[in-house]
Structure 1
Amino acid sequence: MADLVSHPDEVKVVSRRFGQGAADIDRYLQLDGYKAVQKALAMQPDAIVNLVKDSGLRGRGGAGFNTGMKWSFVPKQSAKPKYILCNGDESEPGTCKDRLIFEHDPHAVIEGVVIAGIATGAHAGYIYVRGEYRYLLEIMQKAIRDAYAKGFLGKNIFGSGYDFEVYWHGGAGAYEVGEESALMESLEGKRGIPRIRPPFPAVVGLWGGPTVINNAETLASVPHILLGGAEWYAKLGPPKNGGTRLFA
């Protein structure tokens, strides 16, 4: 288990549940867990996309692209299923921020995946965990099972009539799979090598369907935006780059 070190000037957003036992679903619920999904289910998809766009949340995996804008590229109508793919294959030397999220707040990732699905019309999400993080797979598996048991995943989530499935996948330790198109190749059971683009994943992604690919920290930030609002989140960061970042 990772040691947690605080700084006197830090503003906790993604890390606010760290060290509070939030990997347990009942404890997560005590800490406002899954309230954001319920709010999202009562909103129009475009309203969710615009909220995330206005928050200034940018991709936390390195590219820094506006998250809401990325979601808006997914076509509203598609002959093929749409997917949400959480990239938790952090393989850069010395990086371990996503590991902390998976360990201490896995339900925040799940909640972010579901909200992204509601916003884009997807009904399935995949959480890809770095191959070296074997002990985290057990934590994520349990979190997903518990969410299904509560009726937060699967058919008719929260009695809303909306269906959403979440699956986990463990990598095999390949550095290159951190690139989003290589990640999709790996998830499809192929060699994890990058695809030629265009087409881009938002239009042609997993199994040929429109796919949103976001970093684990990005998705874990989304529930906080739904509950706190775009203006609040935007003010936590510099102009056009809202929110906080994890340093690990």
Structure 2
Amino acid sequence: MSITYLPGKEPHPRETRRILKNINREGWNTSIDCYLADSGYEELKKALGMEPKAVIDEVKKSGLRGRGGAGFPTGVKWTFIPPNNTKPVYLVCNCDESEPGTFKDRYIVHQDPHQLIEGMVISSYAVGAHLAYIYMREEFPIAAETMLKALQEARERGFLGKNILGSGYDLEIHLHRGAGAYICGEETALLNSLEGVRPYPRIKPPYFPAAIGLYGCPTIVNNVESLCQVKHVIAMGGEAYGQEGAKRSPGTRIIGVSGDVQRPGYYEIVSGSMTFGELLYDVCGGPREGREFKAVIPGGSSSKVMRTDVEYKTRNPDGTTGKISFFDIPLDLDSIAQY
């Protein structure tokens, strides 16, 4: 199968498309046949040949951090399941994506649903879950239709259900539609909604999901991009993945840019490989004609509004402090968090 990028939709030269490599590709479609022709589910086969703990160790070695908002180390989160647990373990994919201006996860589901399924099966195997859920907001009808079809294809080909690929491992994934409540982007409110009760956030402690989650059982909640990254950690190996990009937040991450820029859209870059200025001017082409950048919201609507006309106090590696302009701030989790 010959697949090329559509004219005018090629990745920017400074992108490293891994999660998004199949988005907008000519000849690409969401069928399992297309996915398998492009080496789909090979990482699942590899993971099922490993011990679950070995999969967790690879994710820990990779330094993969959650691609939702908090940036918590994914492999470490997985180890919070109580060691002597006798209850069922659940995996939940947060596909709510309710933040205004966010639009990265839905494109993965729209155009590459089997990548998410593969990442979920690998992750469920690692944490010992035999039942997983995709929590998707009601406003994603196309994504829901696409995902339901992909789940059925995966079952028919032996990638879901009983005795997956003859490994003895069983897993079922269900799609759950939310009612469009913004608060369900928060993981404990999402779990309440999944249980069918009012989606109020739970108090932490004691309700840390890895210990007391869905139906009072240990539950791992990761978002779409995070679960897709797991597949690529297995493909690359944890050590190699951990050496790419910023030391404390390695790997690629998808950045959605909206507002008055020449080229709004989603971009996948190596963490720490460019600054805000390089993203906005080089990759996105600068502001629209007659406009200028005055402020940027670097995360969700609850994050700090960063002005572009001020210098920010920065901590240097040697412990000293200095000043840095907004446009020179590197695009990695820790650099942005300190402002």
Q: TM-score, normalised by structure 1?
A: 0.95
Q: Which has the higher contact order (CA 8 A, sep 6+)?
A: 1
Residue of structure 2 equivalent to 1:62:
69
Residue 109 of structure 1 and its aligned partner are, at CA, apart by 1.1
* CA distances 1:12-61 after superposition (whole Å, capped 9, x unpaired): 11111222425211111111211111111111111111101111110000
Deviation at residue 75 of structure 1 after TM alignment: 2.4
Residue 56 of structure 2: aligned partner: 49
Matched, 1:183 2:190: yes
Q: What CA deviation, in whole Å up to 9, does each residue of 1:94-122 have, x standing for no partner?
A: 00010111111111111111111111111
* Residue deviations 1:48-96 (CA, integer Å, cap 9, x gap): 1110111111000010000000111112432221000000101111000
Residue 150 (structure 1) shift: 0.4
Aligned-residue sequence identity (percent) comes to 52
1:81 equivalent in alignment to 2:88? yes
Higher mean C-alpha displacement, 232-241 vs 65-74 = 232-241
Structure number with greater Rg is 2
Letter in structure 1 aligned against 2:15: E
Distance between the aligned counterparts of 2:71 and 2:10, measured in 1? 25
The gaps in structure 2 that reach 5 residues or longer are 1-7, 257-339
1:19 to 17, 24, 31: 24
1:231 to 220, 230, 239: 239
Q: C-alpha separation between the residues in 1 aligned to 2:16 and 2:122? A: 24
Moved over 6 A (4+): none
Residues 83 and 124 of structure 1 are in contact (CA less than 8 Å); yes or no, is this contact kept in structure 2? yes
Distance 1:43 1:76, change over 3 A: farther
Compare the two structures and name the one with the higher strand fraction.
Answer: 2
Matched with 2:320 is none
Contact 1:17 1:104 in 2 (8 A): yes
Equivalent position to 2:224, from 216, 226, 229: 216
- Give 3-state SS (helix, strand or coil) of 1:75's partner: coil
- Give the corresponding residue for 1:8: 13
Q: Deviations over 1:198-228 (max 9, x none)?
A: 2210011101110000011000111111011
Distance in 2 between residues matched to 1:70 and 1:99, nearest whole Å: 24
Deviation at 1:4, TM superposition (A): 5.3
What number of residue pairs does the alignment pair up? 246
**Do 2:66 and 2:73's aligned partners in 1 also have CA atoms closer than 8 Å?**
yes
For residues 132-211 of structure 1, the aligned pairs below 5 Å read 132-199=139-206, 200-211=208-219
Which residues of structure 1 form unaligned runs of 5+?
Answer: none
Contact 1:76 1:121 (8 Å CA) reproduced: no
Question: 101, 104, 108: which is aligned to 1:97?
Answer: 104
Q: CA RMSD in A?
A: 1.4
The 2-side partners of 1:122 and 1:16 are apart by 28
Tell me how far 1:155 sits from its aligned partner: 0.4
Choose between structure 1 and 2: higher helix proportion. Answer: 1
CA contact (8 A) 2:58 2:239 kept: no
CA shift for structure 1 position 5: 6.2
- Which stretch of the first structure deviates more once superposed, 111-120 or 16-25? 16-25
Q: Deviation of residue 236 (structure 1)?
A: 2.5
SS at match of 1:213: strand
Q: Which of 245, 252, 264 lines up with 1:244 in the alignment?
A: 252
1:134 and 1:17 map into 2 onto residues whose CA distance is 21
CA distance in 2, matches of 1:226, 1:32: 14
Cross-structure match for 2:290:
none
Amino acid at match of 1:238: A
In 1, Cα distance between equivalents of 2:166 and 2:24: 31
1:118 aligned partner: 125
Question: C-alpha displacement at 1:197, in angstroms?
Answer: 1.4
SS at match of 1:196: coil
